[in-house]
Amino acid sequence: MTDSNDLARIDRYTCKFENPVMEDRFMAYKWVRVKNPINFAIIFFAVIFIFDAYNVYNMIGEFKLFLLGYPVFILLYLSWFKFPERLKKQKFDIIFACLFMSYHFFQIAQMVAFPDALAEGGFNPNDMLAFLPTLFLFIYILFPGNFVTSVTMTIIFLLTFIPPLMQVQDVHISVWIFSLPVPLILLTYNKYNSEHRNRSDFAKSVSIDETKNLMQTTLKRYFGDVLSDKMLKEGGELDGENKWVSILFSDLSSYSTITENMSPEVALEFLNEYFTAMHEVIKEFNGHILNYIGDSIMVVFGAPEKLKNHENQAVKCSLKMKEKLKELNHKWDEDETSRYWKNHDIESITMRIGIHTGSVIAGNLGSQEMLQYSTIGDTVNVSARLEQANKDFNTEISFSHEIYTALTKELYDQSSLSGEITLKGRTTPTKVYSI
C-alpha cells in the first residue's frame, strides 16, 4: 500500500497532487460530481449562442460571413458529448476551458472587426468594469476547473479585455480597485484554499478507504468472505445462535507417515497447497471453513448465513474434494513431491470425510482477547466420529442417516449403508452410509 503521506502531498504552486495516480483518481472523483452540471452548461451555452447570434445580427443590421461562426460554435460545443469518457474524466476542466475561451476570442474578434456597429447596438466598454467581477466569480466558483486552469483563464480574460478597458473614461480610481484587483485577489485566495481543502479531504478519504480495504482483505483471508462481511456488519459481535446445519470433517490418511521425512518448510508448503485447493472447492459449495487442525478441515454448511439444501451441498462438496485430491496426486507425481510417501509404499494420498446434520450453537467462542467463530454441539462430535468410521468400513466418505434421508434422488441412489457404529454416550447404534 502506498504511503498515505505521499498520496496526500499537494504541490504548493499548482495545488495538484504530486502523485500522478492520485491526481487522476481525484479528477475521476471530481468528474462524477461535475458531469451533469457541465452537460447542462454545454446545452445552455449552445442555446445562448442562438440568441447571441440574433442580437449581433440586429446590431450590425445585415448578414456578415462571420455570423456563420455561431452554428460552428454550437456544433463545436455539442461535440463535447462525443468526447471519450476517459478523456473527459481526466481533462474535463481543460476541455471546458478551451471551449469557453474559443467562443470568447470569437466575440473579441467581433469587437475588433465591428466596433462602430456594436457601439451603435448598445455596446459600452464602461459596462466591462461591472461585468468583470461577475466573470471572476464565474471562473473561480462556478467553473469546475482546477486552480491552475482557473488562474490561466482569468489572466487570458484580463489580457483580452485590456484594449476595451483602455477606452473607459471618467471612472474614479476606487471603481478600478474594487472592479479588478480586490475581487481578483480575494477570489484567487479563496479558490486556492478551497482547492487545497478539497484535495486534502479527498486524500484522507482515500487513506481511510485503503485502510478499510486492507482490513476487509485481511479479515476475508483469515475468516472467509461471508463471515468477514457479517463481522464488519455487526461490529465483530457474533452472539451464539441455534442453527440447523451440516458439519463436514475431512482428514488425510496416513498424514504422519506422509510428512515424516519432510522438512518443516516442505510440509508447510505441501499443506498450504492442499488447503488452498480444498478451500476453492468448499467455497464453490457455499461452505465455511471453521478450523484447520493439523491436516484436518472442519467445515459448516448453513452458518453464519442460512443455506438451502445444506445436506446435499455438503455431500456434493465431499465428492468434489475427492476429485480435487486426485488432481493434486497427479500433480504431485509430476513434480516428484510424491516421493515422500511412495518411499513408504503409499501409492497416492487419500482422505476421509464425515458428514452429519443437526442443531448447533454457532457464534464467537473464546476469551475477550481472542475470539473464534465456531460451532458447538453433538452434531460436531458425530461428524468427527463419522470421519473416523471410514477406517472401520474401508470407505472415504461417510455420513449419517439424517444426511441420507435429506439427499436428492441422484445422490440417494449412489449411496449405500456401510454399517452401524455405537457412539459414546449412546445406546442406539448409529447407521453409517457412504457414497
Residue 339: pLDDT over 80: yes
Residue 405 CA from chain centroid, whole number: 43
Domain boundary residue, one of 151, 184, 215: 215
Whether the CB-CB separation of 371 and 223 falls below 8 Å is answered with no
Instruction: Determine the Cα–Cα distance for residues 226 and 299; give it in Å rounded to an integer.
Output: 13
Instruction: Determine the Cα–Cα distance for residues 387 and 403; give it in Å rounded to an integer.
Output: 14
pLDDT digits (tens, 9 = 90+) for 90-121: 888 888 888 888 888 887 777 666 666 555 55
Instruction: Determine the Cα–Cα distance for residues 415 and 434; give it in Å rounded to an integer.
Output: 6
Whether the CB-CB separation of 400 and 386 falls below 8 Å is answered with yes
Instruction: Determine the Cα–Cα distance for residues 350 and 387; give it in Å rounded to an integer.
Output: 13
Q: Are residues 194 and 267 both part of a single domain?
A: no
Q: What is the model's pLDDT at position 275?
A: 93
Which element (helix H / strand E) includes 218? helix 181-223
| 323-333 average pLDDT score | 94
pLDDT digits (tens, 9 = 90+) for 23-42: 888 988 899 888 998 899 88
Does 60 fall in a domain? Answer: yes
Q: Are residues 265 and 153 both part of a single domain?
A: no
Q: What is the model's pLDDT at position 221?
A: 63
Does 196 fall in a domain? Answer: yes
Whether the CB-CB separation of 407 and 311 falls below 8 Å is answered with yes
pLDDT digits (tens, 9 = 90+) for 188-237: 888 898 888 988 889 888 877 776 776 666 656 655 666 666 656 655 55
pLDDT > 70 fraction of the chain, expressed in percent and rounded: 80
Q: Are residues 324 and 385 both part of a single domain?
A: yes
Does 220 fall in a domain? Answer: no
Total domains in the chain come to 2
Instruction: Identify residue 62 by its one-letter amino acid code.
Output: E
pLDDT band, very low/low/confident/very high, at 1 (cuts 50, 70, 90): very low
Does 408 fall in a domain? Answer: yes
Q: Are residues 200 and 284 both part of a single domain?
A: no
Domain boundary residue, one of 215, 238, 253: 215
Q: Are residues 292 and 383 both part of a single domain?
A: yes
Q: Are residues 166 and 281 both part of a single domain?
A: no
Q: Are residues 197 and 273 both part of a single domain?
A: no
Beta partners for 244?
359
Q: What is the CATH number of the domain that holds 230?
A: 3.30.70.1230
**Cβ neighbour number for residue 41 with a 10 Å cutoff:** 19
Provide the domain limits for residue 252: 225-434
As a whole number of Å, the CA-based R_g of the chain is: 37
Nearest in space to 209 (alpha carbons), one of 389, 384, 29: 29
Domain boundary residue, one of 174, 195, 215: 215
Whether the CB-CB separation of 432 and 421 falls below 8 Å is answered with yes
Q: Are residues 12 and 88 both part of a single domain?
A: yes
C-alpha cell at 10: 499537494
Residue 400 CA from chain centroid, whole number: 43
Instruction: Identify residue 63 by its one-letter amino acid code.
Output: F
pLDDT digits (tens, 9 = 90+) for 360-374: 888 776 666 666 677
Q: Are residues 294 and 401 both part of a single domain?
A: yes
The residue length of the chain stands at: 435
The DSSP result for 49-74, as a single string, is HHHHHHHHHHHH-S--GGGGHHHHHH
